[in-house]
Structure formats: structure tokens, C-alpha cells
Amino acid sequence: MTSNAAPPAATTAPVFNRRNPLIARLARRKLLTEGCDEKETWHLEIDLQDSGLTFLPGDSLAVFAHNDPELVTDVLDALGFSGDETVTAPNKEDMPLRQALTENCAITAVDKKFLNKLVEKVGDDAADIAQLLLPESKAALSDHLWGREIIDFLLRFPDVKWEPREFVGILKKLNVRLYSIASSLAAKPNQCHLTVALVEYESQGRRRQGVCSGWLSRRLDEDTPIPCFVTPGKGFRLPDPDQEVPVIMIGPGTGIAPFRAFLQHRQATEAKGKAWLFFGEIHEDTCYFYQEEWEAYLADGTLDRVTTAWSRDQADKVYVQHKVTEHGADLWQWIGQGAILYLCGDAERMAPDVDKALLGVIAEHGGKSAEEAAAYIEQMLKDKRYRRDVY
Ligand SMILES: Cc1cc2nc3c(=O)[nH]c(=O)nc-3n(C[C@H](O)[C@H](O)[C@H](O)COP(=O)(O)OP(=O)(O)OC[C@H]3O[C@@H](n4cnc5c(N)ncnc54)[C@H](O)[C@@H]3O)c2cc1C
Ligand SMILES: NC(=O)c1ccc[n+]([C@@H]2O[C@H](COP(=O)([O-])OP(=O)(O)OC[C@H]3O[C@@H](n4cnc5c(N)ncnc54)[C@H](OP(=O)(O)O)[C@@H]3O)[C@@H](O)[C@H]2O)c1
């Protein structure tokens, strides 16, 4: 090669991010709660199409969803627009109003900017809302907004006149939602699996659905482009497969997702340490997500123990933290062997309750005072022997 020859072309992995998302496609969707009429949770397999998108167990997929077209129509009807009006969407592109409301604007959650504009337009008839916007009414405002969306305010004040551009101008941009990735590239190349709970509820006489969980569970099909990118799971990582480090994974509900990725990865990399999975859902017969997979992992040694908690199969609630307490002696032994403890799922109720149960286990089986047990957990968190991914 002569000195002025061009260097060989660098092979750089494509970079996908918020500004340059991968456009993926749905390959398969399976209901994980077949026969259960109390909740709907889906397993999704997304085809990454040789895109080069990479991720590690513990990462999440950020997904750009579309709003429900029926809700968009309701909003347009309430505003008295056809949807063909040209507007500038939050992404700064000019497009028809219907498209902007479907693909670009957050049209459900209500914020102060929207309410201030409404009060300005309505005047005295919106005095109750003006009151809620005062700094001292923060809690009352939050109570009022629980279960109310933009459509509710448009329907309450049907005489308010909006300009299409003005309306779009006060809406926030439709943001991504994150989902813990439920597969490992080592086991499922070119695929990204998710475990998605449909958010669905009724309020103010309307049936409502979460924007992204509704889109992923109900409206998406194999032809729908899925703009997405990976967000790293800060510290939610498996130990090196060659290390004899036990792992304890506690993941009720959709909290199971990253642990499915962990277990696929552990099997593919023949990880050495022991593994114990805690799972909880409402009913064993209809909501035991991925049961056959855990059984296969138990049979081939990828998993050593599975402990389940079914909350609605008996009169009293049984949750994962009750199982943590019940198996406290063994858990304490695993912790003594250097186990890493992982917790994933609901942040509001489950995670603090599991923390309390762990404190109890450490106090009882470790012979520690409440303060010493709290310090022990703090140290586990600092040493990254207790890792949480809660939402
Ligand atoms: C790191 C991370 C990982 C995650 N992983 C997963 C995962 O693996 N699987 C999964 O399913 N989710 C996961 N989530 C949650 C997910 O990102 C979304 O928040 C969830 O799917 C809801 O989004 P949505 O667009 O469907 O609902 P949204 O349109 O955002 O609506 C949710 C809002 O609806 C309102 N609401 C909900 N229920 C009621 C009710 N009963 N009454 C009145 N109002 C109500 C609340 O204001 C709530 O904030 C994760 C979140 C994070 C941060
Ligand atoms: N509003 C909706 O339609 C909707 C739908 C899906 C998810 N979500 C929210 O999304 C998050 C995750 O939901 P998910 O479907 O993964 O599961 P989840 O709602 O957290 O439920 C999974 C299991 O955890 C149990 N649970 C409830 N409270 C608990 C606690 N304090 N400690 C331990 N376990 C507890 C549930 O029991 P019980 O339910 O029997 O109490 C169920 O058996 C939650 O914040 C949930 O509120 C909302």
C-alpha cells in the first residue's frame, strides 16, 4: 500500500437515538394473560431486521407510539376541525392537523400551560380551574387531573374557539415510553422482546387507554413502523458469567421482563453462579408469564429456584415480599454467599414493600437491629449488590 492510499473504510455500528430512531417491525405478539379478564399483558417480539441495533440484558427500549385515532377524531370533533388544516407540529414540520395530533402531539396528559390558556379563553366559567392553578393548590390540582385528559376539558367548554395552530402550539410533543427488554441478543439475534401491560381504565364516563401500551397491545400490526432506540439500564447488569456469583431476581408483573433477558443470556453464556427467580401475578392459571421457559431453565440448571406469589388466588393477598419473608433463611444464606439482588417492577407500592421485607430478613436472619439492617441494605446498594429498576 502506498503512503497516500485511502485507509480502509471503518465499519461503524449504526447509531440509533431519539433523533435517529430505528424503524423496526412487529414479528409476533402473544397474550400472556389468556383467560384472565382482570388484566391484559402482552409478549411482543420486535424484528430488528439486521439493523445492527445492539443492547445488553438490563437495557430498555424507548418507543415512539401513535395516539389512538378514535381519540384524535374525538378531539377534532370537540374542536370543530376537519383535521385537514395545516399546522406546524412540535417536530417543526408542517402537516395536516390530524397527522400532527396522531403522530406528534401529546393529546392526553393535561399540563399547566394548557390549563392557563383555557382559563384565559374561558374567563369566569373556569374560575374553579384558575383556583387549582394557584401555587397552594398543587395537591388539589393533581387530584383533579387524575383520570382527566385534554378531551375532558374540550368537552366541558365546547364554546371556546381555538385556532388549529394555536391548539397545536400549546401541546407538548408526544414522548417515548420505555420498556425493559425481555430478550438477549446472545439467544435471540436480531430480535427485541417486550412484556407490556395494557394500561386501561374508566374515568369520567370514558374508557381510556395508555398511549403506548394501547398502541403496542391493540393497534400495532406487522406493517406498522416502530420508531425505537435503546436506553442503557444504568447498572442493571449481570455479573461476569465466569464468576461464581449467585443472582436473586425479584420481578412481579412486567417486572419479569429484564429477568427473561438475564436468563436467556445466562443460558447462552453458561453462567456459573446460582440463580433464584421470584415472580408474582394475580392468578397462577392465567397469569404465569413464561412458565414453560422457567421450567426448562430449572431442568437444564440455568435457574436453581423459582418462587411465585399469586395475589388473587385466595382471600388474602400474597405478594412477592411475603415470599421473601417466608424464604428469609435461604435468602440470607444466598446473600452471605455474595449474591446480587435485583428488583424490577412497580415503584410506588411493590418496591418499598419488598425493601421492608428485605430489612426484616436481614434483621431476623442476620441478627441485626433495625438500624443495622438499614445500614446493611445501604451498603448493598453502594456495592451494587442490590440493584433496582423500578417504574
Ligand atoms: C425503565 C422503565 C422500564 C419500563 N418497563 C416496562 C415494561 O417492561 N413493561 C411495561 O408494561 N411497562 C414498562 N414501563 C412503563 C412504561 O414506560 C409506560 O409508562 C406504561 O406502558 C404506560 O404508558 P402508556 O403510554 O401506555 O400510558 P400513558 O398514556 O402514559 O398513561 C399513563 C397515565 O394514565 C393515568 N392512569 C393510569 N391508570 C389510571 C387510573 N386507573 N385512573 C386514572 N388515571 C390513570 C396516569 O396519569 C398515568 O400516568 C417501564 C417504565 C420505565 C421508566
Ligand atoms: N391502570 C392500569 O390499567 C394498569 C395496567 C397495567 C399496569 N399498571 C401499572 O404499571 C405498573 C406495573 O404493572 P404490572 O402489570 O407490571 O404489575 P402490577 O400491577 O404491579 O401487578 C403485579 C402483581 O403485583 C401485585 N402487587 C400489587 N401491589 C403490590 C405490592 N405492594 N407489593 C407487591 N406486589 C404487589 C399485584 O397484585 P394485585 O393487583 O392483586 O394487588 C400483582 O399480583 C404498576 O404501577 C401498575 O399500577 C396499571
Going from the N-terminus, what domains does the chain have, and what CATH number goes with each? 22-63+176-231 (2.40.30.10), 69-169 (1.20.990.10), 247-390 (3.40.50.80)
**CB-ligand 2 contact for 319 (6 Å cutoff):** yes
Would you say the CB of residue 144 lies under 6 angstroms from ligand 1?
no
Pocket probe for ligand 1: among 32, 33, 199, 387, the residue whose CB has the most ligand atoms within 8 Å is: 199
Pocket test for ligand 1, best of 177, 200, 348 (most atoms within 8 A of CB): 177
Q: Ligand 2 pocket test: pick from 350, 358, 390 the residue with the most ligand atoms within 8 Å of its Cβ.
A: 350
CA of 208 to the centre of ligand 1 (A): 12
The pLDDT, as a whole number, for residue 13 is 67
User: Would you state the pLDDT for residue 14?
Assistant: 76
Q: Are 345 and 355 in contact (CB under 8 A)?
A: no
Residues with Cβ within 8 Å of residue 181, at least 6 apart in sequence = 55, 57, 59, 60, 61, 192, 193, 194, 230, 257, 258, 261
Can you give the pLDDT at residue 3?
41
Give the integer Cα–Cα distance in Å for 195 and 110: 27
Hey, which residues does 278 pair with through a beta bridge?
A: 250, 307
Q: How far is CA 24 from the centre of its chain?
A: 18
Give the Å distance between the CA of 259 and the centre of ligand 2.
Answer: 17
Please choose from 38, 343, 391 the residue to mutate so as to test ligand 1's pocket, defined by most ligand atoms within 8 A of CB: 391
- Ligand 1 atom at shortest distance from the alpha carbon of 177: 17
* pLDDT attached to residue 142: 97
Closest C-alpha among 262, 85, 275 to residue 164: 85
The low-confidence residues of the chain, meaning pLDDT below 50, are: 1-6
Could you tell me if the CB of 60 is within 6 A of ligand 1?
A: yes
Residue 210 CB less than 6 A away from ligand 1: yes
Ligand 2 test: best mutation among 108, 285, 308, 346, most atoms within 8 Å of CB? 346
What spacing in Å lies between the alpha carbon of 5 and ligand 2's midpoint? Answer: 62
pLDDT at 49 (0 to 100): 87
Do the strands 226-231 and 41-47 form a parallel or antiparallel pair, or are they unpaired? Answer: unpaired
Measured between alpha carbons, how far is 272 from 259 in angstroms, rounded to an integer? 16
Please give the grid coordinates belonging to residue 219.
Answer: 393497534
Atom of ligand 1 nearest to the CA of 213: 26
Burial class from Cβ neighbours inside 10 Å (0-12, 13-18, 19+) for residue 17 reads: exposed
Q: What is the largest CA-CA distance in the chain?
A: 81
Q: Is the CB of 108 under 6 A from ligand 1?
A: yes
CA of 328 to the centre of ligand 2 (A): 23
Are 192 and 60 contacting, i.e. CB atoms less than 8 angstroms apart? no
The ligand minimizing its distance to the Cα of 253 is 2
First-residue to last-residue Cα distance in the chain: 56
Tell the residue nearest (CA) to atom 47 of ligand 1.
146
pLDDT at residue 1, as a whole number: 36
pLDDT of residue 10: 52
- Residue 122, sorted as left (phi over 0), alpha (psi -120 to 50) or beta, turns out to be alpha
Question: Is the beta carbon of 252 within 6 A of some atom in ligand 2?
Answer: yes
Ligand 1 centroid to residue 211 C-alpha, Å: 9
H or E stretch at 212:
helix 211-214
pTM, rounded to two decimals: 0.95
pLDDT of residue 108: 98
Give me the pLDDT at residue 234, please.
85
- The number of beta carbons lying within 10 Å of the beta carbon of residue 277 is 25
Does ligand 1 have an atom closer than 6 angstroms to the CB of 374?
no
**Which SS3 state, helix, strand or coil, does residue 49 take?**
coil
